[in-house]
Amino acid sequence: MHTHISLSHTQSDLLLLFRGTWAAGLGASVVRSAIATMPDHKRSSTDVCGHSAMNEPHETKGENFFSDVSLAENQNNVKYTKDGSVDIFGRRAIRAKSGGFRTLPFILGVQFLVTMAYYALATNLVRYLSTKFHENVASASTAVANWNGSTTLFSVLGAFLADSYFGRFWTSVGFLIVYFLGMLLANFTTILSSLQSIDCPSSSAACQTASSKRKSIFYLALYIQALGIGAFQPCNVSFGADQYDEQHKLENPWKSRFFSLVYVTGSCGSLIGNTFLIYLEQNVSYTWGFGVCTIFLGLSVVIYLSGIPLFRYQKPKGNPLTRIAQVLCASVRKWHLKCPLDGSELYELSQVTGSRQLHHSNKFRFLDKAAIKIDGDIDKEGTRNLWKLCTVTQVEEAKFLFRVLPIWASNVYYSTLYIQTLTLFVEQASTMDLRLGNFSIPPASMGIFETLSVCFWTFAYEKWVVPVARRCTGHPRGLTLLQRMGTGLAVVTSAMVAAAVVEMHRLNVIERHDLSGKPDATVPMSVFWLIPQYFLVGASETFSYVGQYEFFYDQAPDDIRGLSSGLQFTTLACGNFLSSLMVSIISQVTRHGGKPGWISNNLNAGHIDYFYWLLALLGMVNFILYLICANWYEYTDVTNSESS
């Protein structure tokens, strides 16, 4: 894609990453297939919201994309990037020597290792708390949901520090080291005899809850990891997208595709975490499982630092919360003024260095009063009072956050449904027949089918969904970002319906074999009955989570993209907390008259099928609300960009 990179060198870098990092070449085959089949017809159209769609370069049939880009780059040799990015020394970034495909092995390699370590712990955490700390299913599920929620809630902190002070790269490195230290401490709790717990079935009455000392140290390690991985993720995703110049017609389309690549990479990492590492934890020891994760996280720090000479960096733009507060303050000061009908009469700088200016929008017009220039806003020396007069771009930044909140809220419930794959799905699997020949499948490893579904649908989305949708909608992306996320909401709701149907069948089998009073009995029903619900959840992720990645980065003003990406990750945080709240309330409300309740420690006597039906019903209500919010949303409109 760049002048000084040959075809063979670029391909060898990618193949080295795929062969050396992705398990059994699965990730490599999926991504190479996705790249090969992604449409690149040169188009220019206007989407349903009225803003111009991105132009994509024409790709000659049968030719390799990399050589095609290299040829075009030679013909249009532009030395420097146009998006304000710099190199490690603060100099303007040279396009041919930085960013783009040459950074993929570092960004995706670290994403793979970090996600693998996360899922090796997160997916098996309910079982670990049940067997090692002897907690019941409801309390263990609640603890895991709270931990997952805290993990993604810390994303806002990382994004804020990146946008305001340290930049996305150094913030990513710092919190990656924090994550490594948290995993190291968790590993120590399995090594030191004074901190170890004895194995004991969670359903046994003789089991005693682990000591407060053991629990305190382990939970400290957990929440150090939550801080590290939570703050790292949005910074890493935004930093990876920063490697593609949005104002360059050949790099811009690949910024969109990067989000699919990074999600598939994370899914392949979760594949190894959900299989090999979980098997290691349950059949060898947690010491070995946590130890391997610790080694991989240490390696990820080394890999990240190795890419320093090749990365492009965006300078921090200052505290975005201060700028938003200035808009609110200035608009309140001028509450008595009438907003002009013509947005061009509002105050704007003639040029914004390193950022694109935003066009005026008609929603939340009260905030426009902050950009009305009156006497006293600018003193005799020409200095503007930032708390009295704001630019249109600054006002539009504040408008964006208010405008995106309904979309964000609708996606919170998606995460509530998704978190069931890490909690109730695992407990559901643990009661069933786990045999595959002579091999016993760890319950948490059923997540492999979710991962395989993500990989399949990432390929299928570009090869089949986009072309078909493009013919129906006329949109160059096939589906708009809002339509893509809405499809994910519908699919994940259907996954809850599938889960409820399978659970009804499982309870029928229990009744026929009189197993309701035997919590440790294995239900004579294959665990592979759960594949449809895992497959549907994986399909929904391809639409919803990938769409969220792109939506919250693409729609955000340049100066708050990190914060916007952090906001996207908080949908998972709030979804976890909502799931935890629902489980707690349902467990208490339905446990009366000696009945075990819907979500019982003995799932064979409970009724989680009722809970799944409730989730599906609320999912349909949420989908209708999302359609209303999506129809109301107005896309961000930028200027000073070749591709806008």
Q: Which of 69-83, 432-446, 464-478, 564-578 has the lowest mean pLDDT?
A: 69-83
Is 266:111 a contact under the CB 8 Å cutoff? yes
Give the tens place of pLDDT for each residue, 384-398: 999 999 999 999 999
Residue type (1 letter), 560: I
- pLDDT category, 639, cuts 50, 70, 90? low
Tokens of 296: 């991989």
- Does residue 224 surpass a pLDDT of 90? yes
- Does residue 622 surpass a pLDDT of 90? yes
Give the tens place of pLDDT for each residue, 431-478: 899 988 888 888 878 888 998 999 899 889 988 998 999 998 888 888
- Does residue 644 surpass a pLDDT of 80? no
- Does residue 169 surpass a pLDDT of 90? yes
What residue ranges define each of the domains in the chain, with the CATH number in brackets?
100-314+397-632 (1.20.1250.20), 320-390 (no CATH)
Is 353:347 a contact under the CB 8 Å cutoff? no
- pLDDT category, 342, cuts 50, 70, 90? confident
**Residue with the larger pLDDT of the pair 21 and 82:** 82
pLDDT of residue 387: 92
Is 279:436 a contact under the CB 8 Å cutoff? no
Tokens of 556: 């955000």
Distance from C-alpha of 196 to C-alpha of 211, rounded to nearest angstrom:
10
- Does residue 19 surpass a pLDDT of 70? no
Distance from C-alpha of 199 to C-alpha of 218, rounded to nearest angstrom:
16
Is 150:226 a contact under the CB 8 Å cutoff? yes
- DSSP letters along 198-234, please? ----TT-TT--PPPHHHHHHHHHHHHHHHHHHHHHHH
Closest CA to 121 of 210, 225, 24, 215: 225
- Does residue 276 surpass a pLDDT of 90? no
Residue type (1 letter), 149: G
Task: Characterise 342 by phi-psi region: left (phi > 0), alpha (psi -120 to 50), beta (else).
Answer: beta
pLDDT of residue 3: 39
Helices 561-589 and 531-554 pack at an angle, to 10 degrees, of 140
- Does residue 485 surpass a pLDDT of 90? yes
| Angle (nearest 5°) at CA 552 between 420 and 39 | 95
Helices 167-191 and 286-306 pack at an angle, to 10 degrees, of 160
Burial class (CB in 10 A: 0-12, 13-18, 19+), 423: buried
pLDDT of residue 635: 87
pLDDT of residue 184: 94
pLDDT of residue 602: 82
Distance from C-alpha of 396 to C-alpha of 374, rounded to nearest angstrom:
20
Question: Taking the CA atoms of the chain, what radius of gyration do you get in angstroms?
Answer: 26
Is 548:418 a contact under the CB 8 Å cutoff? no
In the DSSP assignment, the letter for residue 606 is: S
Tokens of 58: 């024409």
Distance from C-alpha of 38 to C-alpha of 77, rounded to nearest angstrom:
25
Distance from C-alpha of 222 to C-alpha of 423, rounded to nearest angstrom:
17
pLDDT averaged over every residue in the chain:
81
Distance from C-alpha of 463 to C-alpha of 115, rounded to nearest angstrom:
26
**Residue with the larger pLDDT of the pair 194 and 62:** 194
- Does residue 223 surpass a pLDDT of 90? yes
User: 269: Cβ–Cβ under 8 A, 6 or more apart, which residues?
Assistant: 111, 112, 113, 114, 115, 116, 118, 119
DSSP lists the bridge partners of residue 384 as: 378
Q: What is the pTM of this model?
A: 0.75
SS3 329: helix
- pLDDT category, 80, cuts 50, 70, 90? confident
Give the tens place of pLDDT for each residue, 33-68: 444 444 444 333 334 333 333 333 333 333 333 334
**Residue with the larger pLDDT of the pair 494 and 72:** 494
Distance from C-alpha of 584 to C-alpha of 567, rounded to nearest angstrom:
26
Give the tens place of pLDDT for each residue, 293-335: 999 999 999 999 999 999 999 988 888 889 999 999 999 999 9
Tokens of 124: 């098996």
SS3 93: coil
Task: Give the mean pLDDT of 264-287.
Answer: 86
E strands, 484-555, in order: 523-526
Task: Give the mean pLDDT of 145-160.
Answer: 85
Share of the chain above pLDDT 90, in %: 39
Tokens of 259: 């989000």
Q: 474-496 as b/e, with b when 16 or more CB fall inside 10 Å? A: ebbbbbbbbbbbbbbbbbbbbbb
Which of 354-363, 541-550, 590-599, 620-629 has maximum average pLDDT? 620-629
Q: 297-327 as b/e, with b when 16 or more CB fall inside 10 Å? A: beebbebbeebeebbbbbebbeebeebbebb
